[in-house]
Every structure is written in structure tokens, then in C-alpha cells.
Amino acid sequence: MLPFRLQLVDGLPVSEQLVRAAKRAILGGELEGGEIFPSVRMVAQELRVSPTTVHKAVLELKEAGYVVSRPGVGMVVVGKDKLGKRALKEQLRDRCEGLWKEANFLGLGAKELGELLREIEREKGTEE
């Protein structure tokens, strides 16, 4: 069983969905630093997809710095604290892009979206 949530949906490459789910799990603490990332074979069997697809996703995670290869162990998760702000911003980018598209659909621009975020920050800042 996968140590993180992933529900495949049509219309998006499986490897991309796997990368997004793994990044979300690492940044959200579902997968912790030092934990062994599931093997390509196990993930492929679990999702019933080609090992090549899973291998592609794992390579992308490795290139992005989310996992590292350890001889005799396999792929190991890099801790969230070691990823830095770049990784955190990257994770939010997709959500921000979707929000930006929705704002444009509603006739609002980046300026109004920024104002809304600042308004939310002020409201949440006073509550905490």
C-alpha cells in the first residue's frame, strides 16, 4: 500500500499525478525525511501502471531534490526542512495558477487577487 494518497484521474499523465502526490506528501509531512520511498515495482503494482511510468516520476522527484538515492537502501525522502522555500513555492504554483485563471474568468486581474490575499492575511493575522 502506498504511504501517501493518490487517486488517479483521467486527462493527466500518471507520472505527473504521482510526482504531485509525492511532493504534496513530503511537504505535508505524510512522508518524512529519512523514510524509504516505495520501490518502482511496488508503486507500479499498486497503481497497475508500467514501471517505466513510475521510474519517470521517481527520476523527476530525484532531480527536483525530493528524494535521494542511497546505495543498498534505494530512494530516501529528503526532509521538508531541507527543501527550502523554492520547493514550497513550487508546490503552491499550481494552486495559484488555477486561482489566477478563475479570477480572470470572473473578470478580475492579478491586482485584485493580490488585494484579496492581503485582506485574508490581515484577517488571519489578527485571529492568530
What CATH number does the domain containing 25 carry? 1.10.10.10
Are 74 and 87 found together in one domain? no
Instruction: List the grid coordinates of 111.
Output: 491586482
Are 35 and 49 found together in one domain? yes
Are 119 and 96 found together in one domain? yes
Are 65 and 104 found together in one domain? no
Instruction: List the grid coordinates of 53.
Output: 511510468
Please report which confidence band the pLDDT of residue 52 belongs to, taking 50, 70 and 90 as the band edges: very high
Residue 67 near residue 59 (C-beta atoms within 8 A):
no
Q: What is the pTM of this model?
A: 0.71
- The pLDDT of residue 22 is 93
pLDDT tens digits, residue range 10-38? 999 999 999 999 998 998 888 999 999 99
Mean of pLDDT values over 54-71: 95
- Range(s) of the domain holding residue 61: 14-78
pLDDT > 60? residue 128: no
Mean of pLDDT values over 97-104: 88
- The pLDDT of residue 37 is 96
pLDDT > 90? residue 74: yes
- The pLDDT of residue 67 is 95
Positive or negative, the CA dihedral 65, 99, 25, 46 is negative
Residue 37 is assigned to a structural domain of this protein: yes
Instruction: Give CA–CA dist 114/57, Å, rounded.
Output: 33
Mean predicted lDDT score pLDDT of the chain: 89
- The pLDDT of residue 4 is 84
Instruction: Give CA–CA dist 107/115, Å, rounded.
Output: 15
